[in-house]
């Protein structure tokens, strides 16, 4: 099939390359000519394992192309809208400027019978508000949320857990849903669950899933706070409750909490939308989820500050990690950089290292010091703070090796990712999050 993907950010670039890899003819479109030039030369504009290979093979096979000219979407059978919905400045609500602009741009190029597929994460009610303008062209609107995780985006796009398709009136037999089933033919053939529903449910599935994940993380971080007040150990607690299949161990990683381009802004946008709908109380707990999450950053800062005491002024602190999570160069709402800046504000001389995210971090947080080489970053440190659990720090850094580099053996493990007994045995003063 011929597909267009409008918006070549994280979601769109991966979607375009993945759809080409499963046999479609894909044109990726973006208003940013710089991004398009990178993609057209076979490069991904961000770090995502497996993506550059997929882009290069699509370009070489002639099944994938990129342009900044929206008119080139004309002729595609299915048009995916994959633009961003960031948090509005000065508000919790989602900024729909890019979504509205993308629809306005594609509508003049639609032909009768085309399918338009919204993939962006939007406040519930958005699809309904866009449907009439799409239908007026003879095309059909569907909403098909995306659940990809950064770092596993290629896998999650080609082989998703489930496919959710929102159609007008929720008609399970809608022809547009069948067309999307053919787009996703390998997953459908494999028996992946396809849920055809109405627009509102499709939009809500996405935000509900992210709200649930955020709640799960904040739940265990709340338990970490209680553990800290009682001498209990949150890691053992998580293991123990995680054995209950109804709860499950995944996403019970206590630490400095969630960041990134999705969970924080999505729970805020959900709260804002629920309030608009007069149902603020239904998701009032999400404010608490957000507050617990931010408190864990405070906790990491105070662990370092308390351990260093007055000596924090001028103390050399090394942050292991800048990205909001490993396997990503994304620093949006990263707990790592937030904590780094606050330690700097307290007078520390903060050095940040990260295997992939330094260039992005330097751009947004120019006052911090950046050192690409891990060992160079550790040299002379008076405190080490692990904030992103890359294998380079979690598995490959031995406490003895690190001890030989630093000035003082003080480590705050913001992700509970290090082998605490081994670090203590190597003479380190070790602090975890919610740990004895």
Among 18, 64, 217, 315, binds ligand UDX (CB under 6 A): 217
- φ and ψ at 302, to 5 degrees? -75, -30
Closest of 65, 66, 74, 79 to residue 5, by C-alpha:
79
Give the count of residues interacting with ligand UDX (CB under 6 A). 19
- Whether 262 is a known active-site residue: answer yes
431 binds ligand UDX (CB under 6 A): no
Query: Dihedrals φ, ψ of 258, to 5°?
Result: -90, 150
Contact, 300 vs 412, CB < 8 A?
A: yes
In the complex, least distance from residue 330 CB atom to ligand UDX, rounded to whole angstroms: 8
Residue count of the chain: 436
Q: Check residue 219 for interaction with ligand UDX (CB under 6 A).
A: no
x/- mask, ligand UDX, residues 277-316, rule CB under 6 A, reads ----------------------------------------
- Does residue 370 interact with ligand UDX by CB under 6 A? no
Q: Could you give the CA distance from residue 41 to residue 35 in angstroms, rounded to a whole number? A: 10
- Region of 106-114, 145-153, 297-305, 419-427 interacting with ligand UDX (CB under 6 A): 145-153
* 339-357 residues labelled b (16+ CB within 10 A) or e (exposed): bbbbbbebebbbbbbbbbb
Binding ligand UDX (rule: CB under 6 A), the pick from 29, 263, 319, 337 is 263
The total of other beta-carbon atoms located within 10 Å of residue 87's CB is 19
* Nearest Cα to Cα of residue 9 among 69, 99, 74, 75: 99
Looking at 81-89, 164-172, 210-218, 345-353, which segment touches ligand UDX (CB under 6 A)?
Answer: 210-218
**Which among 55, 116, 262, 381 is annotated as catalytic?**
262
For residue 73, the 8-state DSSP code is G
Write down the least CB distance from residue 215 to ligand UDX, Å.
12
Q: Tell me: does residue 393 bind ligand UDX (CB under 6 A).
A: no
The verdict on 166 binding ligand UDX (CB under 6 A) reads no
Our CB check for ligand UDX shows the closer of 148 and 357 to be 148
Does residue 253 touch ligand UDX according to CB under 6 A?
yes
- Compute the distance between CA of residue 436 and CA of residue 433 in angstroms, rounded to an integer: 9
Please, which of residues 222-251 interact with ligand UDX by CB under 6 A? Answer: 251
Three-class secondary structure of residue 94 per DSSP: strand
Element (H, E) at 412: strand 410-413
Q: In this chain, which stretch among 85-93, 104-112, 147-155, 379-387 interacts with ligand UDX, using CB under 6 A?
A: 147-155
- With contacts defined by CB under 6 A, name the span among 39-47, 49-57, 260-268, 416-424 that binds ligand UDX: 260-268
Cβ neighbours around 425 below 10 Å, total: 12
* Per CB under 6 A, 210 contacts ligand UDX: yes
Nearer to ligand UDX, 110 or 303 (CB): 303
Should residue 118 be labelled a site residue for ligand UDX when binding is judged by CB under 6 A?
no
Residue 434 sits in the site that holds ligand UDX (CB under 6 A): no
User: 31-35 long-range CB contacts below 8 Å, 24 or more apart?
Assistant: 31/68, 31/101, 32/8, 32/68, 33/68, 35/8, 35/9
- Compute the distance between CA of residue 95 and CA of residue 87 in angstroms, rounded to an integer: 6
Select from 75-83, 142-150, 174-182, 403-411 the region that touches ligand UDX (CB under 6 A).
Answer: 142-150
State which of residues 80, 324, 430, 431 lies at the interface with ligand UDX (CB under 6 A).
324
Q: Does 18 bind ligand UDX (CB under 6 A)?
A: no
Contact status: 203 vs ligand UDX (CB under 6 A): no
Nearer to ligand UDX, 11 or 131 (CB): 11
d(CA 182, CA 189): 10
d(CA 84, CA 266): 12
Q: Assess 258 for contact with ligand UDX (CB under 6 A).
A: yes
Pairing of strands 25-29, 64-67: parallel
- Provide the binding-site residues for ligand UDX, judged by CB under 6 A: 147-150, 210, 213, 217, 251-253, 255, 257-260, 262-263, 324-325
Catalytic positions are 262
């Amino acid at each position: 099939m011929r597909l267009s993907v409008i918006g070549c950010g994280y979601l769109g670039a991966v979607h375009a390359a993945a759809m080409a890899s499963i046999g479609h003819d894909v044109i990726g479109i973006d208003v940013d000519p710089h991004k398009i030039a990178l993609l057209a030369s076979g490069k991904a504009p961000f770090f995502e394992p497996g993506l550059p290979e997929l882009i290069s093979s699509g370009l070489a096979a002639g099944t994938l192309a990129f342009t900044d000219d929206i008119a080139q979407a004309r002729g595609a059978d299915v048009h995916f809208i994959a633009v961003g919905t960031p948090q509005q400045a000065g508000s919790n609500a989602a900024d729909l400027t890019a979504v509205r602009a993308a629809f306005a741009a594609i509508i003049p190029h639609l032909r009768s019978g085309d399918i338009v597929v919204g993939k962006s994460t939007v406040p519930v009610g958005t699809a309904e508000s866009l449907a009439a303008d799409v239908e007026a062209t003879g095309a059909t609107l569907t909403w098909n949320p995306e659940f990809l995780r950064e770092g596993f985006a290629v896998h999650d796009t080609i082989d998703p857990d489930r496919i959710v398709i929102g159609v007008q009136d929720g008609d399970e037999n809608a022809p547009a849903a069948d067309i999307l089933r053919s787009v996703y033919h390998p997953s459908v053939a494999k028996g992946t669950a396809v849920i055809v529903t109405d627009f509102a449910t499709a939009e809500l599935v996405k935000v509900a899933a992210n709200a649930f994940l955020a709640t799960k993380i904040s739940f265990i971080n709340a338990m970490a706070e209680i553990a800290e007040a009682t001498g209990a150990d949150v890691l053992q607690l998580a293991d123990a409750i995680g054995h209950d299949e109804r709860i499950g161990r995944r996403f019970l990683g206590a630490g400095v909490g969630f960041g990134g381009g999705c969970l924080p802004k999505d729970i805020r946008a959900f709260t804002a939308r629920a309030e608009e709908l007069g149902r603020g109380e239904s998701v009032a707990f999400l404010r608490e989820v957000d507050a617990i999450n931010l408190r864990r950053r405070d906790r990491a800062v105070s662990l370092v500050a308390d351990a260093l005491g007055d000596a924090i002024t001028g103390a050399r602190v090394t942050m292991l990690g800048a990205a909001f999570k490993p396997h990503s160069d994304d620093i949006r709402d990263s707990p790592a950089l937030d904590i780094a800046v606050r330690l700097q504000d307290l007078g520390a001389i903060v050095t940040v290292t990260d295997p992939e995210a330094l260039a992005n971090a330097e751009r947004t947080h120019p006052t911090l010091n950046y050192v690409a080489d891990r060992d160079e970053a550790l040299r002379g440190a008076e405190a080490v703070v692990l904030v992103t659990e890359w294998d380079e720090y979690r598995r490959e850094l031995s406490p003895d090796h690190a001890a030989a580099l630093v000035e003082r053996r003080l480590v705050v493990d913001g992700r509970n990712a290090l082998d605490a007994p081994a670090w203590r045995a190597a003479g380190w003063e070790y602090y975890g999050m919610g740990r004895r």
